[in-house]
Homo-oligomer: A and B are copies of this chain.
């Protein structure tokens, strides 16, 4: 009796999945998920549909895989940055904000895909929980970063959950503005100020 459900992971398979996933990012960001066909992705990757169906069961699965992979990569790289940052603590609130913004800086392409995925998740019951769980992980990571940073600037977080949620909300809300507004620099500056305001709202002077 052989396991027919999960195919073995050979080198070839890994490479093929890799190219399909990368192509998916390109095509999804250009045409949107809904208007993308299986063939679009395959053609872009230089495969035929045979390759696709041998690696995924549906575009939905592909989209979820792409999204989870990239989200994981983001979290991992963020973790790494945090570790580095421990050797080089922030000296001011402003510097902390800038580091945070730099950390979450994402390219337009990926921002579009995230937006699209959220829209997709909003109408797909199973995905809502997946997104909520992911947001929870981001929230935790964020708080780990903030805890340390706040120490260095002598501040104390008042409401941890609300703080993290506020930062995420502001991040998301300002992202569209930066992509849509004719003057992206102004939007960037406004975003920075808003972040600063949020930090000041959810922290207070720490007893030293």
Contacts and interface: CB of A to CB of B under 8 A. Distances in A.
A2 interface: no
A97 interface: no
A30 interface: yes
Contacts of A57: none
Specify the main secondary structure of chain A where it touches its partner: helix
Contacts of A169: 170, 173-174, 176-177, 191, 194
A184 to B, nearest CB: 11
A31 B124 CA distance: 9
Contact of A201 (B118, B129, B177, B201): B201
A73 to B, nearest CB: 21
A143 interface: no
Interface stretch (A10-18, A45-53, A144-152, A160-168): A160-168
A198 interface: yes
Contact of A198 (B131, B132, B187, B197): B197
A111 B122 CA distance: 9
Contacts of A198: 194, 197
Contacts of A176: 118, 122, 169, 172
Interface of A: 29-36, 111-112, 115-116, 118-123, 128-129, 131-132, 135, 161-162, 165-166, 168-174, 176-177, 179-182, 187, 190-191, 193-194, 197-198, 200-202
